[in-house]
Amino acid sequence: MRTIEYDTIVETVARLCIEACYNLEEDVLGTLQKAIARESNKQAKQILTQLIDNARIAQAERIPLCQDTGLTIIFVEQGADMAVSHPNDRPKATLFDAIQEGVAIGYERGLLRKSVVTEPLHERTNTGSNTPAIIHHSIAPGDNLHITIMAKGGGCENKSQFRMFNPTESKETVAGWIVEVVNQAGANACPPFIIGIGIGGDFEQCCLISKKALLRSLDSKHPDSFYAQMESELLATINRLNVGPQGLGGDTTALAVLIETAPCHIASLPVAVNIECHSHRHKSAVL
Amino acid sequence: MSKEIQIETPLTDGQIDTLRAGDQVRINGIFYTARDQAHKRLCALIETGQELPVDLSGQVIYFVGPTPAAPGRCIGSAGPTTSSRMDAFSPILIRAGLKGMIGKGYRGEPVRKALQQYKAVHFATLGGAGALLSKHIIDAEIVAYEDLGAEAIRRLYLKDFPAVVAYDAFGGTVYDR
């Protein structure tokens, strides 16, 4: 059994939070560059260029890419043959405690905005630490610890939707609804978007895989040719909506459509659309 | 794409008369920040006939909750938040003398009507470009609701701040497509 130091996990999570909010991923930058070359609307071209300028300023001058540094979502894949050491003063602290501590430290040290409130409907007091982060944990063979953090903005998350279809529904009907969800998100959710789609699973797994889909490289294709084709058809249809960057028109409403699927009940066809803004912030590390 | 128009705040009715949806502008002068919770508090004061902590007559509100400022800077990342969440509150503030707002995304019909009735304007700026936009903010000071943290009301001084007229005072919008 391999042991990873508690403090190593804390520091890694803190670093990933900061890096995600200051450095835009290369695949996003590359996709924006390609979109500029393809875009026929002059104002849209100008906005896409400003988004690349924004990323350059963020990195060079150490200013977060966006003021909404998000709710922190953590995907952690724990090797079955690894364990976490306990800090001397807290013998009962777990992997999850280390992750939460790392988020709190990262948001403080990185001068990131704390955007989490204690409860949703009554007082809405800010927790002051951007915790609790949402942790999705899984077990894998081996003795590594894979940590991925995503800083998910509120504006785009607010426009995400879920729907249960009849299992006999066609691909075209499902696709039509997905396009309508994106159209409704429009200017409010900071286009150009990355569209994460979950198809299958149950109520909560469907939403979870729609978010996990966002972690794929924007250049990647679904391994199943049926869904790969659906991704490219959806992207083409969405980019004909003329929502455009910032909702001001143009050929670039989405940068990528990414589908994840899961087995589901014979009676069900759940579909979730997780809208992600162009400021697509995520970083991973393997310990 | 139209030529950029230079704008100074506070906004005058004469200036608002010249603006049309789709105009690209550069804004200079004082802005106040306010998001959801500050709007809720301001409107509660107005509805109970109490004095506001800031005089909004002729002023412009920027819907923003910035990141903390790094040492030597006046503000952190500072891009717009979604305007429609302020739809329930903006008509009340417009009636109380607010002349402009800046955010991202769509406004509802009651806001569009209030813009026409009281001669005001709504601008959109670059969502998700808070680093770039922060370069156009040269001064920032908390003036009310410090307990709200990022959502406190700040007085900002903007220089050549880029925006587009999203909804004008004549019912026009840049989002009709």
Percent of chain A with pLDDT over 70: 100
Q: What is the pTM of this model?
A: 0.95
Q: B4-168 adopts what CATH topology?
A: fumarase (3.20.130)
Mean pLDDT of B9-37: 96
Residue A62 pLDDT class (50, 70, 90 cuts): very high
Interface residues of B toward A, Cβ cutoff 8 Å, are 1, 37, 64-70, 76-79, 81-84, 104-106, 124, 126-132, 134-135, 149-150, 162, 164, 174-175, 177
Domain edge (last residue) among A152, A170, A198: A152
Q: Is residue A29 part of a domain?
A: no
Contacts of B1 in chain A (CB under 8 A): 42-43, 46
Question: Residue A265 is encoded by which pair of tokens?
Answer: 């009940």
One domain for residues A225 and A237: yes
**Contact criterion met (CB < 8 Å) for B81 and A68:** yes
Give the residue extent of every domain in chain B.
Answer: 4-168
Range with lowest mean pLDDT among A48-52, A90-94, A231-235: A90-94
CA–CA min distance A235, chain B (Å): 19
Write the CB contacts of A192 (distance below 8 Å, at least 6 apart in sequence).
A32, A35, A48, A244, A245, A252, A253, A254, A255, A278
Domain boundary among A133, A152, A171: A152
A143 and A11 co-located in one domain: yes
Q: Are residues A166 and A223 in the same domain?
A: yes
The residue with tokens 């403080």 is A108
Asked whether residue A206 is assigned to any structural domain, the reply reads: yes
| Interface-testing mutation among B33, B132, B165, B174, with chain A (most A C-beta atoms within 10 A) | B132
Cβ–Cβ gap A69/B67 under 8 Å: yes
- Least CB-CB distance to A64: which of B64, B130, B162? B130
Residue of A nearest to B130 (CA): A66
Is A60 within a domain? no
Q: Are residues A144 and A160 in the same domain?
A: no
A64 touches chain B (CB under 8 A): yes
Is residue A72 within a helix (H) or strand (E), and if so which, with residue range?
strand A71-79
Whether the pLDDT of residue B1 is over 50: the answer is no
The answer to whether B128 contacts A66, with C-beta atoms less than 8 Å apart, is yes
pLDDT category at B41 given cuts 50, 70, 90 is: very high
Q: For residue A58, list chain B residues with Cβ-Cβ distance below 8 A.
A: 77, 131
Predicted-complex ipTM score: 0.94
Q: Could you report the per-residue pLDDT of A240-275, keeping only the tens digit for each?
A: 999 999 999 999 999 999 999 999 999 999 999 999
User: Once rounded to an integer, what is the mean pLDDT over residues B159-164?
Assistant: 97
Could you say which of A135, A152, A169 is where a domain stops? A152
Q: Do A64 and B76 touch (CB under 8 A)?
A: yes
Which one, of A209, A199, A116, lies nearest residue A164 by Cα? Answer: A199
- Do residues A99 and A145 share a domain? yes
Q: Is the pLDDT of residue B132 over 90?
A: yes
Cα A68 to Cα A22, A118, B18, B79, B148, distances in angstroms = 12, 18, 33, 8, 15
pLDDT for B75-87, tens place per residue?
999 999 999 999 9
pLDDT score for B64: 97
In a domain, A191, yes or no: yes
Is residue B110 predicted with pLDDT exceeding 90? yes
Comparing CB atoms, the residue among A113, A128, A189 nearest residue B67 is A113
Residue among A160, A261, A271, A263 nearest A216 (CA)? A261
Q: B153-167 and A82-84: which strand pairing?
A: unpaired
Chain A residue with Cα closest to B65: A67
Spatial distance between the Cα atoms of A170 and A93, rounded to a whole number of angstroms: 49
Query: Tokens representing A66?
Result: 């966006």
Shortest CA distance from B24: residue in chain A: A43
Average pLDDT over chain A, rounded to whole? 97
For residue A24, tell me if it sits in a domain.
no
* pLDDT averaged over every residue in chain B: 95
Q: Does A23 touch chain B (CB under 8 A)?
A: no
pLDDT at B113 over 60: yes
Domain encompassing residue A208? 155-279
A172 and A146 in a common domain: no
The SS3 call for residue B124 is: strand
Tell me the mean pLDDT in the region A173-194.
97
Do A9 and A141 fall within a single domain?
A: yes
**Is the distance from CB of A193 to CB of A258 less than 8 angstroms?**
no
Q: How far, in Å, CA of A184 to CA of B133, rounded?
A: 26
pLDDT band at A285 (very low <50, low <70, confident <90, very high): very high
Indicate the number of domains in chain A. Answer: 2
- Pick from A64, A72, A67: nearest CA to A21: A64
Distance between B58 CA and the closest CA of chain A, angstroms: 26
Same domain, A170 and A247: yes
Q: Determine the residue among B63, B67, B123 to mutate to test chain A binding: the one whose Cβ has the most chain A Cβ atoms within 10 Å.
A: B67
What local confidence, expressed as pLDDT, does residue A122 receive? 93
Contact B128 A62 (CB under 8 A): no
- Residue of B68, B104, B105 lying closest to A111 (CB–CB): B68
Across the strands, what pairs with B161? Answer: B27
3-state secondary structure of B38: helix
pLDDT of B177: 61
- Per residue in A206-221, pLDDT tens? 999 999 999 999 999 9
State pLDDT tens for residues A84-114.
998 889 889 999 999 999 999 999 999 999 9
CA dihedral B141, B144, B145, B149 (to 10 degrees): -10
> A72 near A150, Cβ under 8 Å?
yes
Chain B contact set for A248 (CB, 8 A):
124, 164, 174-175
Per-residue model confidence (pLDDT) at position B176: 81
**C-beta atoms of B65 and A113 within 8 A:** yes
Q: Report residue B3's pLDDT band, with 50, 70 and 90 as the boundaries.
A: confident
All residues of chain A having their beta carbon less than 8 Å from the beta carbon of residue B128 are: 51, 54, 65-66, 153, 190, 277-279
Which residue on chain B is closest to A45 by alpha carbon? Answer: B1
Structure tokens at B47: 């509805």
Work out the average pLDDT over B112-134.
97
Beta-carbon neighbour count of residue A98 at 10 Å?
Answer: 26
